[in-house]
Structure 1
């Protein structure tokens, strides 16, 4: 009987994190991510930023990959000037996660991008981002929710064919689509909420945060694609 697939999840690397009596640099990830992987039937492996040249070797040991949410992508990565509302850069994480995405695409490893992860997937394939939009992160530090509508005939529509209320917290979104990507869900205001690569390689990005909700279907689909 096959074992549970190993799903790598990218993480933060933060200076001066505090817990107990300690204040140290730490690799951090909200517990919702590994818990969602586990609920979906996978084993979670946390991947803190590393040297980009290690990405291919890392991907070779995984059965699937999740690029997690986090800080804004540095605009220079997609040839743009910084907007006043764009957050400070996380250059080490940008470099590592872009290398992971490239390695996963080359190796045809099942890949799920969540929020920032969807945006980085788009940037990795030559796309651009809207650096600020209103209405998708209404209260600082509090997840909101809205409805997303799947595009019929897409991978995402096969996972969740109905309109679904999703947890959301972001102020940036996909603008020009990267090469090969197609839309697979939209919000009611037209914001692109999911993208994917058509074909037999499982690649999906969602703008919302499934780790903050009860719907396990997106992660379960990744885990199932990672078996075998």
Structure 2
């Protein structure tokens, strides 16, 4: 549910017995959510960026079926908060939390978004990069660009580590969408907030600083 990320992290800090850190995190978290939601509330429907999220890539998946997030997915709730036009909320071909689909169906989904008035679609590939480093966003996104060359709308590619949307960093997912789709609309910058989180909410900060490259967590690849 949409409150799980906030609750897990809050209780994590509480279990450590650090009330100061708990309140500091909640203040940071709520400031970001409030800032993003306020800005999002002022967007017209035509101003919202159309977003679809993949959870697998042709880089390593050989079945010809690829997982796309669907209606009610937690990441899609975050995107809705950030003022995105969540394609899954309007597309009957994406009814489930995760939907395994062939390329032909994916191209149909993209055309449907175009026909609904979205000449550009933001495609975000959500992979196990980040600290886990199982896959490289540079490679997984590149193969999506090659696979979707026949897409009708203009495709704007993004990458995000799976752990970024299921951790205290999930609020940065929303800032990332805002920064990419509506530059300058909010005063927050996802890279600055990423650094703030590392410096203020990690116990072994030097290790995180040495091993956390933001391009492994959030990356804007631009239009194909």
User: TM-score, normalising length from structure 1?
Assistant: 0.33
Q: Which has the larger radius of gyration?
A: 2
More helix by share: 2
